[in-house]
Amino acid sequence: MTYDEVRTMVLAWPGVEDGTSYGAPSLKIKGKFFTRLKEDGDSLVIKDVDPDERDMLMEAEPDIFYVTDHYKGWPMVLMRLSRAHPDQVKALLLRSWKATAPKRLVKEFAQKS
């Protein structure tokens, strides 16, 4: 999967818009940080992943999931898009979207699905 594919997928979700974060392409929800592409051009920052789940993901699929020192203190994991299955990417991003988006948008989205 590529960042362009991720972008196309999530821009269809309510409130998602293009942005930048730390000089890299990012996606925001009503101006709030949602996800961003890492400088390597392949890894995506996935938020709302607690440390225990992150450790489990990294142990189960170390070729896909990892963390750098910068993210160790935060509920985030890094995901290599080129190695991840699209359903895996969608599931983690959708969960993060639901945690970040205004409740009204989440409710509207659920009614359409």
pLDDT tens-digit map of 25-42 = 999 999 999 999 999 999
Residue 18 within any structural domain of the chain: yes
Q: What is the CB neighbour count within 10 angstroms for residue 62?
A: 10
Kindly state the helix (H) or strand (E) to which residue 92 belongs, with its residue range: helix 86-100
Q: What CATH number should be reported for the domain holding residue 47?
A: 3.90.1150.30
Q: Supply 62's token pair.
A: 């170390």
Q: Is the full-model pTM beyond 0.75?
A: yes
Residues 6+ apart with CB under 8 A from 24: 36, 37, 38, 39
Structural domain of residue 71, as residue ranges?
3-102
18 pLDDT more than 90 = yes
Residue 109 within any structural domain of the chain: no
Residue 108 within any structural domain of the chain: no
Separation between Cα atoms, residue 33 and residue 53, nearest integer Å: 21
The domain total for the chain is: 1
At 3, the pLDDT band (50, 70, 90 cuts) reads very high
Residue 54 within any structural domain of the chain: yes
Separation between Cα atoms, residue 109 and residue 113, nearest integer Å: 6
pLDDT score of 81: 98
7 pLDDT more than 90 = yes
pLDDT, tens only, 44-101: 999 999 999 999 999 999 999 999 999 999 999 999 999 999 999 999 999 999 999 9
